[in-house]
């Protein structure tokens, strides 16, 4: 598989976070209606997705700069003592230092896309915006309402106005998405074609009222950076870890309450079975000396839908190498 970095520019607010497994699902719906996006069609590709995925999407991360970009990732899901080992000598100093370190939730990674905890730079929100002169995406409440067709107004109960959280990106924000592609099945050009359609019509919740719009600014191939003997793996998307791949894993649980899209969203049961995943930012440690023969970890998940037996969840995640010592 070849690795590519796609640069996206948000054009509106987002009701659904740009996570890798959701991007994969949206692309599959595009391929269902445009068979040219995947060689042999989507159904044939999904039959062997457990053994040979045609594409694996990462979540979207903030990208700063173009010539020598810096990427903003969440802090690895490791114990603080492994990331910040020095907390001082007396109890008060240790407590104050630990409280400060807890706020440092962001990690800046250079264009090489490798992480060394000794050299990594961690920031809290204020420190990050000051260091790079940027604004981070901010959550906000967006008002919604349902009109009672008898009174032609809102009211109480089901017709009471309510708010839903949205994510607002600054006007100059750029996002990076890493995509692993099996070029015997599809290509970077076809992936871009599918994503452009998604960005044009909207991604995720409330796309019908103008949310989730983005455009594809560029695409470039990146070298396989997973290495032959990566000591650890930092995941770039929610995944379902495979026990045979890991000696130890540190992660924050993320529960995917999946929902069908397109016509299936209004037929029968629109919801899929919940799946417990390891959120992006998980750290997977391998056996000493164990080689890495593929640029992703995790496994595909089937049996998640009662109305679509062929539905598959992308339980895979691209990763970048992380050195702990």
Beta strands in 94-209 (DSSP E): 106-109, 115-116, 121-123, 138-144, 162-168, 174-181
User: What pLDDT, in 10s, does the model give residues 22-61?
Assistant: 999 999 999 999 999 999 999 999 999 999 999 999 999 9
Answer for the pair 192, 216: CB distance below 8 angstroms, yes or no: yes
Q: Which residues pair with 163 in a beta bridge?
A: 143
Decide the pairing of beta strands 316-323 and 115-116.
parallel
Q: Which of 240, 237, 224, 241 is nearest to 294 (CA)?
A: 224
pLDDT tens over the chain, length 325 residues: 899 999 999 999 999 999 999 999 999 999 999 999 999 999 999 999 999 999 999 999 999 988 789 999 999 999 988 898 776 678 888 888 888 999 999 999 988 888 888 888 999 999 999 988 888 888 888 888 888 888 888 888 888 888 888 999 988 899 999 999 999 999 999 999 999 999 999 998 889 888 999 999 999 998 755 555 567 899 999 999 888 888 889 999 999 998 888 778 777 788 999 999 999 999 998 766 555 568 899 999 999 988 888 889 999 999 999 988 7
Q: Domain coordinates of the chain in residue numbers? A: 2-323
pTM: 0.91
Which candidate, 283, 275, 321, places its Cα nearest to that of 299? 275
Distance of CA 123 to the CA centre of its chain: 20
Count of residues in the chain: 325
Which residues pair with residue 301 across a beta bridge? 313
Q: Tens digits of per-residue pLDDT, 165-176?
A: 899 998 889 999
3-class DSSP state of 114: coil
Q: Which pair of tokens denotes residue 291?
A: 């080689």
Q: Tell me the angle at which helices 20-33 and 188-201 cross, rounded to the nearest 10 degrees.
A: 100
Pairing of strands 55-57, 2-10: unpaired
Of 291, 227, 218, nearest in space to 4 by CA: 218
């Amino acid at each position: 598989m070849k690795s590519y970095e796609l640069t996206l520019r948000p054009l509106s607010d987002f009701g659904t976070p740009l996570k890798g497994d959701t991007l994969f699902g949206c692309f599959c719906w595009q391929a269902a209606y445009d068979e040219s996006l995947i060689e042999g069609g989507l159904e044939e590709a999904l039959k062997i997705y457990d053994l040979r995925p045609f594409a694996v999407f990462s979540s979207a991360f903030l990208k700063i700069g173009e010539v020598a970009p810096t990427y903003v990732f969440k802090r690895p899901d490791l114990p603080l003592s492994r990331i910040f080992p020095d907390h001082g000598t007396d109890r008060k100093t240790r407590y104050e230092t630990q409280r400060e370190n807890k706020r440092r939730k962001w990690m800046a990674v250079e264009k090489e896309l490798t992480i060394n905890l000794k050299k990594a730079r961690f920031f809290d929100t204020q420190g990050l915006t000051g260091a790079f002169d940027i604004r981070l995406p901010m959550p906000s409440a967006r008002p919604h309402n349902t009109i009672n067709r008898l009174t032609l107004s809102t009211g109480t109960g089901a017709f009471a106005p309510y708010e839903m959280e949205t994510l607002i990106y600054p006007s100059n924000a750029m996002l990076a998405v890493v995509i692993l592609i099996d070029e015997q099945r599809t290509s970077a050009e076809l992936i871009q074609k599918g994503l452009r359609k998604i960005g044009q019509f909207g991604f995720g919740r409330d796309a019908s009222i103008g949310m989730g719009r983005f455009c594809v600014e560029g695409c470039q191939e990146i070298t396989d950076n997973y290495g032959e003997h990566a000591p650890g793996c930092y995941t770039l998307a929610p995944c379902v870890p495979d026990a045979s791949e890991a000696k130890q894993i540190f992660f924050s649980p993320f529960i995917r309450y999946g929902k069908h899209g397109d016509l299936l969203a209004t037929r029968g049961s629109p919801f899929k079975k919940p799946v417990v995943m390891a959120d992006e930012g998980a750290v997977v440690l391998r056996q000493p000396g164990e080689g890495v023969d593929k640029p992703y970890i995790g496994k595909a998940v089937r049996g998640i839908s009662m109305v679509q037996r062929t539905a598959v969840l992308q339980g895979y995640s691209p990763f970048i190498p992380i050195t702990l010592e």
